[in-house]
Amino acid sequence: MNNKRIALLGLGTIGQVVFDELVASTNGAWQLAWVVVKHPERHQTVLLPTGAQLTTDWRRAVEDPTVDVVIELIGGIGVAKEAVTSALLHGKQVITANKDLVATAGTELDRLAELYGGALTYEAAVAGGIPIIRTINEGLAPDRIRRVSGILNGTSNYILTAIDQEGLSFDAALKESQAKGFAEANPTKDVTGIDAAYKIIILTKLIFHRTLSLAQLAPTGIDHLSPRLFAAAKEWGLKIKLLASTWESRGQLNYQVAPVALNPSHPLYQVDGVTNAVVIDSEVPRPTSAPGRAVRRRPTAS
């Protein structure tokens, strides 16, 4: 069997870890053929494996007829969508961690994969280190799922935990999360609920076969919460968590992304710090819970 030749698009936070793992691996099933970067001057010390090439032109890598697999870690929707579309039109297998892209264009890209004989896989797009998509597609396929609910943004969860346990202000908790590498320099998508919304859009499509938009979800984030609210929650023994949920009730599909005060009996009450978790309720009389550390780098790269 010939080795799978891989084109890696992006050498940022996640891309660097994926690159290191591919280079260090002794698995002879794949070979790194291309690494695509935006700023080559930042990667002059990168030691490419034999046969691999560095380029700023994603088309050279994606349209190389010897490339079998494209790993897209560029992020965003613009260039990433162009590259993934091209890869699928060429019948290639695509692996992506790009939740924005999958949430907004997943149906279109799935159709291209089907039409041209490629594949689109995105396990890392939702809750990084938790194999929730595989669990839904394989382990829970026979069940009729009634509800999915989760803490899907580790940055927001870290901030809420720091406020609750350390008594920090929102601004101080955000700065601490940035200092530890959990929050981006621009944390807008995290703290406004947009990141969690994209992830629940993906899970909703998989489970309920309905395509939601960001406008429909109208997420509410954590950046507006008052100190008085946290004080009241603590007094009552509650914890505020940013929950993303979709559920069926009386034939209607309901959805929400918003801060919720949880009591100690809730399965997500103890999920603190940068940890993410997903709880699935189905007709089988038991909830399925999948916790995992899922912020940045290694869990997502894995």
Distance, first Cα to last Cα, the chain: 24
Is there a contact between 182 and 274 (Cβ–Cβ < 8 Å)?
Answer: yes
Please work out, in degrees rounded to the nearest 5, the angle formed at the alpha carbon of residue 106 by the alpha carbons of 220 and 101.
60
What are the φ/ψ torsions at residue 285 (nearest 5 degrees)?
-75, 60
* Active-site residue, selected from the candidate residues 92, 199, 239, 241: 199
199 is catalytic: yes
> Do residues 94 and 87 make contact, with C-beta atoms less than 8 angstroms apart?
yes
| Residue 41: alpha-carbon gap to chain centroid | 28
Contact 127, 199 (CB under 8 A): yes
With 0-12 CB in 10 A as exposed, 13-18 as middle and 19+ as buried, what is 38? middle
User: What span, in angstroms and rounded, lies between the C-alpha atoms of 113 and 102?
Assistant: 13
Angle, CA of 193, 184 and 165, to the nearest 5°: 70
- Which residues have a Cβ under 8 Å from the Cβ of 34 and sit 6 or more positions away? 6, 7, 8, 52, 53, 54, 55, 60, 61, 64, 67
3-state secondary structure of 200: helix
Let me know: does 84 contact 97? Beta carbons within 8 Å. Answer: no
Give the residue among 75, 102, 295 at the shortest CA–CA distance from 197.
Answer: 102
Phi, psi of 187, rounded to the nearest 5 degrees: -90, 15
Residues with a catalytic annotation lie at 199
